[in-house]
């Protein structure tokens, strides 16, 4: 499966794909399409950083 590290991190941090999409300024459908094929390493690293930020915000609210 493509982008396994992103999928795993989303699951572990409790972040939904739509939340990640909103954080990077794209639609949920665009995010789903991007997840179908392996993204370049630098893009994955950026997304991992964004996932961490979204997860941190969710913890603040909870």
Domain boundaries, the chain: 4-61
DSSP-derived secondary structure for the chain: -TTHHHHHHHHHHT--HHHHHHHHT--HHHHHHHHTSPPPHHHHHHHHHHHHHHHHHHHHH-
- How many C-beta atoms lie closer than 10 Å to residue 54's C-beta? 20
Q: pLDDT (tens digit, 9 = 90+) per residue, 1-60?
A: 899 999 999 999 999 999 999 999 999 999 999 999 999 999 999 999 999 999 999 999
């Amino acid at each position: 499966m493509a982008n396994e590290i992103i999928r795993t991190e989303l699951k572990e941090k409790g972040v939904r794909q739509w939340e990640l999409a909103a954080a990077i300024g794209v639609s949920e459908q665009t995010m789903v399409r991007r997840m179908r094929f392996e993204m370049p390493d630098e893009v994955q690293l950026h997304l991992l950083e964004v996932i961490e930020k979204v997860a941190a915000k969710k913890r603040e609210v909870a």
